[in-house]
Amino acid sequence: MVMKKMADLNLEKSGAAEKNLATVLPHSLSDEEFEFYSRQIVLPHIGYDGQIKLKHARICIVGLGGLGSPAALQLASMGVGHIRLVDHDVVEISNLQRQYIYSAKYLGYPKVEVAAKRLKELNPNINVEPLPLSLSHWNAEEIVRDMDVIVDGLDHIGPRRVLNRACLKTGVPYVYGAAIMTFGNVSTIIPRETPCLECFLGGINEDVLPTCATVGVHPAILNIVASIEVSEAVRIVLGKKPLLASKLLYCDISEMSFEIIQISKVENCPVCGLNNIDFSHEAENIFEVCGREGGRTFIVTPKKNLNLEMDRLVNLINNSRDFHIEVKANLGVTFTSKSGGKISILKSGVMIVANASSKEEVHHLYDEIVIRGLGSSVCKSVCKTDHCRIPYDRGTVANCPFV
């Protein structure tokens, strides 16, 4: 009752004194929810009214790695009513050093599936929407549409640029965050109001950038950056001005330094400025990521969500003498090949192949299992992608997932 009175006091301060909550707010909190969120309801800048706003908020976290996983835990525990999780990967043993949402028993499971299970265990009052997708030029707008804010959990500049463009086009606020080694930065992008990502990170060549696999990352900096991202996202949901709009926060825990840099729009920015450019030609269907299992690793991303029948996929792999299933989950399956490769196929049609020798090998594998094996496409015409130009005997594919 003391907490309830304090919440009512917050409403009085906001000009809602003496009014029935049912007439002021569209919904109220259950007794269980009130107790769950009691330690933040008493905060003056949240209050009971703010908690209702969080309950009706829709936040998308793109990428469930070192940044996305702590951000997801915080947003779920704070009571964000609908959380959309987007990631194209499975849990690897090297993730566990910093991605606390997972555990060793879930190695090989789709990240979105494990994260959704963990968030619902943490807070059964929220809705969690797991999407085992690879963010791309083709699906980015669909992923961010109808969301109140997007939280960046990505680890490469390329997908961030795609996300930035989609948010600009759909008008959805985007909280950018990045971290490596002991330093990180955060900025909040409000479409048509603040500089966009391209304004202050444009022209960067991702091929020359270091990665966590090559230079490492301190778990503490990830949690700091993720927490600041959450703070900015919550401010947007509550209708308050984000503190990092038109600003870039830089922090380095090796020196315990925090600096805020004012940033400005670039007049000829290729995304939000006068010099608008179409980047669709940059989209790739297959790309190489940091190596795993001691070899090269590739990710195949179909143009559309194939929504594979997982039972058929599992039966197909089980009936093959070349493969052995290690993990069978609802949203994906992980298996090994006789050649020593580790393969994961998600329900969306995304495939991750570790220990592959080349893109051509990965294309052959995808064709063997997904296209030919599952019969997901009927042949009509040859497309112009590398996939169909591979010189071996195969039919042509209509509705090819790579076109």
pLDDT digits (tens, 9 = 90+) for 304-325: 899 999 999 999 999 998 999 9
Token output for 295: 């070899």
Report which of 363, 214, 213 is spatially closest to residue 285, judged by C-alpha positions: 363
Domains in the chain, please, with CATH?
2-51 (no CATH), 57-262 (3.40.50.720), 284-389 (3.30.310.10)
Among 62-71, 86-95, 196-205, 243-252, name the one with the lowest average pLDDT: 196-205
Beta-ladder partners of 60: 84, 150
3-state DSSP percent of the chain in helix, strand and coil, to 5: 35, 20, 45
Helices and strands (H, E) in the chain, number of each type: 15, 14
- The DSSP call for residue 311 is H
Residues assigned a catalytic role: 212
- Checking if the pLDDT of 391 tops 70, the result is no
| Distance, CA of 227 to CA of 205 (rounded, Å) | 28
Token output for 41: 């309801």
Q: Name the 3-class secondary structure at 365.
A: helix
Strands in 171-328 per DSSP E = 174-180, 183-189, 247-252, 257-262, 286-292, 295-300, 323-328
| Distance, CA of 370 to CA of 353 (rounded, Å) | 13
Average pLDDT on 346-352 reads 95
Q: What is the reported pTM? A: 0.87
CB atoms within 10 A of CB 133: 24
| pLDDT tens digits, 367-386 | 889 988 887 553 332 344 44
| Distance, CA of 157 to CA of 211 (rounded, Å) | 11
Alpha helices by DSSP H, 61-186:
68-78, 111-122, 140-144, 157-170
